[in-house]
Structure 1
Amino acid sequence: MVSSPHEAMHRIFQEYPGLFSRVSELLGVPIAAPTSVSVMPTDLTEHRPVERRVDTLLRLDVEGDESFLLAVEAQGKKDEDKPASWAYYLSYLYTKYRVPPLLLVVCQDRATAEWASRPVPIGPRQWPALTLRPLVAGPHNMPVITNVAEARKDLVLTTLAAITHAADPDIGAILKTLSTALRDAPEIIADPLVELTAQGLGNRPAAQQWRNLVAVDLSFYKSAISEEIRDEGRSEGRSEGRAEGVAQGILLFLARAGIDVSDEARERITTCGDVDTLNRWLLRAPAAKSVEDVFAEE
């Protein structure tokens, strides 16, 4: 399973292009829902050996309005080289397709979102020839959805909101709301959203919370991604259980031998998640004269 937040933050617009009209309204630039959508090539490479790729590129046709290109970029941190690349993308796209381009940047932390939101003038200070003005979706303007009824109204937007709030202190409540709302959804709808959420959370602590929720709240789903997440959760649970048991065995041996175990050493033993390391320590514990003997050669 791909576990890249970067991938999820832009791929959700490929899977659900109508989502952009709801996001644009939240961002204060309401754009009507598209009547048709075309997925465009993301390769912006010129014939010269300069390769540039936008994350996701869509052509959105809006009834009664002009069509436009939507370039979606997932941005994980500040990068002072990005504004120049984004300006290149937009000018290149307009030159190639003669269709107005629009840039949406999706972020997961407030500092990056605020940085990406800045207009960037390009040209002399007295008269900038161009000004880069991306739309930015992030934790600073995406809703915190913890009401199940609200979540059910728009599962896709709720998924994007959860991804952008991956570091929010209330992420547990946000994810619980999403998993509860997905219970009533057909598997064909819920399955890709479960996957996108898992990708979007990446390696953050909230990723394990989501696995646990999928294992319990969405246990009736039999899709590949749901089974994979549940298998990971069961495997991690078994590993954690074995590690805890071995750690307690080490401490028991040391206690019986009357060996003083400092708080630091106790924490090192009880927080070690590597069963192989713990087994080595367990074999040394019965003959140890001090806790340092347990950690010998480590």
Structure 2
Amino acid sequence: MPSPTHDSLIELFRDRPQLAVEVLRDLLGQDLPVTPLARAENFTFNTRPSDDIEPDLVVVLGPPPSPAHVIIVEIQKDKSKDPRQLDRYAAQAWLMLKCDATVLVVCPDARTAEHYARPIDSGLTGYRPHPRVLGPGGIPAITDPQQAAAHPELSALAVMAHGRDRKVVEAFASALAELPHDYAAKYYEHAYDMSVPEVRHLLEEIMTSTDWPVHSPFAREHYGRGMAEGKAKGKTEGRAEEAAKLVLLVMDARGLDMPDDVRARITSCTDLTLLETWAARAATAQTVHDMFDGASEQDR
């Protein structure tokens, strides 16, 4: 069953497929076709007589009529998947799209990364495909805030892999302040979901020391609750202000004399029910004091 870490990793690559190219080219040293076109596509592979198999993500490089390369991105947190299935992904992509294919396995765990980095025993003599694996050791520990802002996906991955290093988390937090709010929230969520509890606590600690509203599940709950309460309070205060203006408007229209202390008493009142009562009385009161007749002892 997919986990929050699995889903967040896939979203990082799905949101910006060029990330798969950068990981293979810049971090793992693989030559890839030079093209600005990289798109995520939905594929279901089939290896009859087996069932349909669906990779986590397929990134196609080059124009749709003639793709230049296929990157199959697979997230593995443990050793449960048969490595030969990764080989099937590549073979099916080659058959369907008629171009070269690379399997990129992203592993948050070092031992899992080591397991999938081995050549695959395909069962065919002389054919041992070798997937490209990105484990924690292959992810750079980004401690420069400017570099983190320039590469927010890699910075989020760095938090996952090296978040026990406070400087990595601080650089990530600083980078978020440079990003549009919606993007910053998304990257924070991904980093939080991909991290172990110890790093999550550090994220919370560092982010709550800034004025940027954090978006972890815990913080979102409490921040959202505060926002809702603030909006409700603001709405009530706004209605009270409007009701006070109505009382003054009716009294002015009827030509009733209002001393400064009476006007202040009305404008400073935040009890909406009481203001509505005053507004109703203002329509028939002969004097200002008639309007307050029957008011609660607390208001007198």
TM-score by length of 1: 0.64
How far apart are residue 8 of structure 1 and its match? 1.8
How far does the alpha carbon of each residue in 1:109-138 deviate from its partner, in whole angstroms, 9 at most, with x for none?
2211122111124236xx42x222111112
Partner of 2:183: 189
Q: What secondary structure does 1:226 align onto?
A: coil
Partner of 2:72: 71
Q: Which has the larger radius of gyration?
A: 2
Q: What secondary structure does 1:29 align onto?
A: coil
2:42/2:58 contact within 8 Å kept: yes
2:145 alignment partner AA: V
1:39 alignment partner AA: A
Aligned with 1:213 (options 206, 225, 231): 206
Q: Does 1:141 align with 2:134?
A: no
2:20/2:73 contact within 8 Å kept: no
For residues 220 and 76 of structure 1, what CA distance do their matches in structure 2 show? 31
Partner of 1:94: 94
1:58 alignment partner AA: V
For residues 99 and 6 of structure 2, what CA distance do their matches in structure 1 show? 26
Q: What secondary structure does 1:105 align onto?
A: strand
Partner of 1:112: 112
Q: What secondary structure does 1:72 align onto?
A: strand
Aligned with 1:230 (options 219, 244, 247): 219
How much identity, in percent, do the aligned residues show?
21
How far apart are residue 191 of structure 1 and its match? 2.4
Alignment of 1:19-98 (within 5 A): 19-24=19-24, 25-31=26-32, 34-45=35-46, 50-61=51-62, 67-79=68-80, 81-98=81-98
TM-score by length of 2: 0.64
For residues 200 and 232 of structure 1, what CA distance do their matches in structure 2 show? 19
RMSD: 2.9
Structure with higher RCO (Cα < 8 A, 6+ apart) = 1
2:118/2:130 contact within 8 Å kept: yes
Give structure 1 stretches of 5+ with no counterpart: 236-298
Partner of 2:17: 17
Q: Does 1:200 align with 2:185?
A: no
How far does the alpha carbon of each residue in 1:14-67 deviate from its partner, in whole angstroms, 9 at most, with x for none?
1111222321211121436642233211432467671311111111228xx961
2:148/2:155 contact within 8 Å kept: yes
How far apart are residue 226 of structure 1 and its match? 2.3
For residues 77 and 99 of structure 1, what CA distance do their matches in structure 2 show? 30
For residues 39 and 21 of structure 1, what CA distance do their matches in structure 2 show? 12
Partner of 2:167: 173
Seen in structure 2, the aligned counterparts of structure 1 residues 91 and 103 have a Cα distance that, compared at 3 Å, is: same
How far does the alpha carbon of each residue in 1:58-98 deviate from its partner, in whole angstroms, 9 at most, with x for none?
11228xx961111111111223x421111111112212222
For residues 197 and 108 of structure 1, what CA distance do their matches in structure 2 show? 12
Further displaced range: 172-181 or 25-34: 25-34
1:185 alignment partner AA: L
Give structure 2 stretches of 5+ with no counterpart: 225-300
1:71/1:102 contact within 8 Å kept: yes
How far does the alpha carbon of each residue in 1:185-224 deviate from its partner, in whole angstroms, 9 at most, with x for none?
12243222112212222x532123223434443x435xxx
Partner of 1:288: none
Matched positions, count: 220
For residues 222 and 101 of structure 2, what CA distance do their matches in structure 1 show? 42
For residues 47 and 184 of structure 2, what CA distance do their matches in structure 1 show? 39
For residues 194 and 150 of structure 1, what CA distance do their matches in structure 2 show? 16
For residues 57 and 35 of structure 2, what CA distance do their matches in structure 1 show? 16
1:220 alignment partner AA: W
Seen in structure 2, the aligned counterparts of structure 1 residues 174 and 101 have a Cα distance that, compared at 3 Å, is: same
Seen in structure 2, the aligned counterparts of structure 1 residues 160 and 42 have a Cα distance that, compared at 3 Å, is: farther
